[in-house]
Amino acid sequence: MAELLRIYPENPNPKAIKKVVDVLRNGGVIIYPTDTVYSFGCDITRNKALEQVARIKEIKLEKANFSIIFYDLSHLADYTRQVDTPTYKILKKALPGPYTFILEASNTVPRIFKNKKKTIGIRIPDNTIPRTIVQELGNPIIATSVHDEDSILEYTTDPELILEKYGNVVDLVIDGGYGDNSASTVIDLTNGNREIIRVGKGNPAIIE
């Protein structure tokens, strides 16, 4: 059974963060809070962990649409093609925040996900827990929601119920308090687009 680890978003305990980072470096899978719903995550450089998350989500890794969590925009150039100034201004204005931005992927991304993926969703949540984890780990983690696409159920917001449901398939569940029950707003910024794919917690007017 996975461990439930309490971390306070206002002031994440460095020892607790180190514990999470050790689990990730060892190829573990975690569930962590964001500024929207709770999310499954793993180190993007650990292929077996990526495959485990895909199994939990009942999809093949090469078909997975996992987003990646950055600490800040300085990671951008490693995983995406160069963005133009208007696109960068939107990212700068919206992030950290409850948005997933779809951008053109760099050549690194298909190697990670074992596919011919030309785009990648990026997130910088307005929550210190995942961002501190990424900062300490030194590279992004993946993000894919715990919530059920068809209905928002109680287990998606309560960490103890999340542990009950997924404790046998993940290594660690972070209790960062009750999660939100609305997902991120997804915006496609590829090829000069500004297309709203899904309206969630983030105000879509951010792109205007």
Maximal C-alpha separation, the chain = 47
CB atoms within 10 A of CB 103: 22
Query: Global pTM?
Result: 0.94
Contacts of 32 (CB under 8 A, 6+ apart): 20, 38, 39, 41, 129, 130, 133, 174, 176
Helix pair 14-25, 128-137: axis angle to 10 deg:
60
| Predicted pLDDT of residue 83 | 94
| Predicted pLDDT of residue 150 | 56
Q: How confident is the model at residue 13 (pLDDT cuts 50, 70, 90)?
A: very high
Per-residue pLDDT tens over the stretch 16-68: 999 999 999 999 999 999 999 999 999 999 999 999 999 999 999 988 889 99
| Predicted pLDDT of residue 134 | 98
Per-residue pLDDT tens over the stretch 79-120: 999 999 999 999 999 999 999 999 999 998 888 887 888 999
Beta strand 119-123 with 67-69 is: parallel
Do 187 and 195 touch, CB atoms closer than 8 A? yes
| Predicted pLDDT of residue 149 | 56
> Around 73, how many Cα atoms within 13 Å sit in the side-chain half-sphere?
16
| Spatial distance between the Cα atoms of 78 and 15, rounded to a whole number of angstroms | 28
Q: What is the rounded average pLDDT of the residues 151-157?
A: 63
3-state secondary structure of 121: strand
Structure tokens at 47: 């292929």
| Predicted pLDDT of residue 42 | 98
Domain chopping of the chain, boundaries: 3-207
Structure tokens at 152: 């928002």
Do 79 and 51 touch, CB atoms closer than 8 A? no
| CATH architecture assigned to 3-207 | Alpha-Beta Complex (3.90)
| Spatial distance between the Cα atoms of 10 and 149, rounded to a whole number of angstroms | 29
- Residue tagged 């199994």 (tokens): 55
Q: What percent of the chain has pLDDT over 90?
A: 80
Per-residue pLDDT tens over the stretch 124-145: 999 999 999 999 999 999 999 9
Q: What is the rounded average pLDDT of the residues 182-207?
A: 93
Do 182 and 17 touch, CB atoms closer than 8 A? no
